[in-house]
Amino acid sequence: MELTFATGNILTYNADTIVLNLFEGVADPGGATGSADGATDGAIRRLIAGGDFTGKLNQTAILYPTQGLSASRVILVGLGQSDAFSLDRARQAAGSAARVARDLGAEHLASIVHGGGEGGLDYEKAVTALVEGTGLALYRFTAYRTKPSDDKELVRFTVVELDENRKEEAERGAAVGRAIVAGVTLARDLGNTPGNDLTPVALAERLSDMAAETGLSCEVWDEKRLEKEGMRTILAVGKGSANPPRFIILEHQGDGADSPVAFIGKGITFDTGGISLKPTENMWDMKFDMGGAAAVAGAMRAVAELKPKQRVLAVIAAAENMPGSRALKPGDIIRSMLGKTIEIRSTDAEGRLVLADAVAWMARQNPIAAIDLATLTGACVTALGNSASGLFSNNDELVAGLEAAGERTGETVWHMPILEAHRDQIKGDYADIKNTGGRPGGACTAAAFIEEFVGDMRWAHLDIAGTAWTDKSRPYVSKGGTGVGVRLLLDWLQNRT
């Protein structure tokens, strides 16, 4: 879809479909919506008076004006209560309108900026939200369809602004939105790709190509290099598979500052549970067990386009967890990169194992702060459902920054504890630690396990097991891999202090 920007009156703009908006409970619309109402002889007020449109968040109504407007179709979208309006609600409204337009067969959609008027949202950020919501709502994963699709697609989307003095702001906001959409699209594509095609080697090749295209640096470590570096936890998880593990390093140099901001992704490209085999039901969706890696890859794709001054270093620990003849077994004891010994109680607690060496390696790079993302525990899904990611950290400032980013992006995080009791649960009987502390507090004990490898590094862990995949579409989130974490990381990066 082509993204363009135009200045002028949207009522006379030459697009087949335009988007206008209204807050809930407003009987006499103003702004562009009021002008459209006047041009159509009160058509919008009649909708409101008849109870057909209330302005409830994401509600839509369609008008086919016969006079006063250049467009042949108007989509009116509800913004909800004005005192509850936010960037995420602007994103939702944009997504709701975009999907209606696409399903109606629109080819060129033009929209005003939701909440960008006097006294509303920050204008540049409102433009970003508009572009994000529109682009993300239109996402489809069609790579494996063999028959020609009759799905309708928007060809062009235009942001229309009446005030010519806001052109530069709008173009900056649109550029950020475009980069975010590209990053989230990459993350969703990776999460939706089946495990037979997205092996650790294939993931490394794909990200190496992406880095070459966008100007990031990329280094990929194979089994020999992993052995040389002492990354035995990653090697141990990958032993049972014919598809070998990989360690992927992506870097944006920024202004060349010595200390980077760090992202770390769990990249289990398929998880059978290993010898501790998962039940057959729903195992198919374990292709998304690399959701943390997908988020990191998507964030770095956007970083490459946005080019922040801050140096950003990202790593992905990629492996396939299979029950082959060489697979890790319950009761085995392995030694980590730090020399710490780990007793394996469940081979299905493998994500924390690959993160152990990845986190330890990152700590040696002395980052300003490090954030790991992982589809780590069903316990986190039990605790928080599918509406929030679990947040664990050793730094209050990092927690506050991620919570604020979650509120702005709609990718909610919920701060959870690592108590001394959780640390006690993972103390080993025959080794230093064990890789699971049992069912009670499972998300907390998993975080406590990763904490063992953090050292003095400022660190946060995001358990995205409940948010990286969805069986139900939402206004700008499509069914399947959600790409969660991309927008959160970018927002935190842009707003960190």
Half-sphere exposure (Cβ direction) of 280: Cα atoms closer than 13 Å: 0
Half-sphere exposure (Cβ direction) of 194: Cα atoms closer than 13 Å: 7
- C-alpha–C-alpha distance, residues 336 and 353, integer Å: 9
Cα dihedral 298→90→74→35 (10° resolution): -140
DSSP letter string, 32-61: HHHHHHHHTTSHHHHHHHTTS----TT-EE
DSSP letter string, 162-207: S-GGGHHHHHHHHHHHHHHHHHHHHHHHHHHS-TTT--HHHHHHHH
- Helices (H), ranges, 262-338: 291-306
Q: Which of 45, 140, 156, 278 is catalytic?
A: 278
Q: What is the largest CA-CA distance in the chain?
A: 81
341 contacts 426 by C-beta, under 8 angstroms: no
Among candidates 238, 430, 225, 465, which has minimal Cα distance to 353? Answer: 238
Query: For residues 214-248, b (16+ Cβ closer than 10 Å) or e, as one string?
Result: bebebebbebeebeeebbbbbbbbbbbbebbbbbb
316 contacts 203 by C-beta, under 8 angstroms: yes
Beta strands 413-415; 389-393: pairing state: parallel
- C-alpha–C-alpha distance, residues 364 and 231, integer Å: 13
Among candidates 339, 366, 371, 334, which has minimal Cα distance to 353? Answer: 334
Q: Which of 352, 408, 434, 487 is catalytic?
A: 352
- C-alpha–C-alpha distance, residues 90 and 87, integer Å: 5
Backbone angles phi, psi at 95, to 5 degrees: -65, -40
76 contacts 53 by C-beta, under 8 angstroms: yes
Specify whether the backbone of 222 is left (phi greater than 0), alpha (psi in -120 to 50) or beta.
beta
- The one-letter amino acid code at 49 reads A
Is 266 annotated as catalytic? Answer: no
- C-alpha–C-alpha distance, residues 469 and 480, integer Å: 5
Among candidates 359, 387, 361, which has minimal Cα distance to 371? Answer: 359
Tracing tokens 């936010």 back to the chain, one arrives at 86
Q: Which token pair is 200?
A: 């650790």
Is 246 annotated as catalytic? Answer: no
Catalytically active residues, by annotation:
278, 352
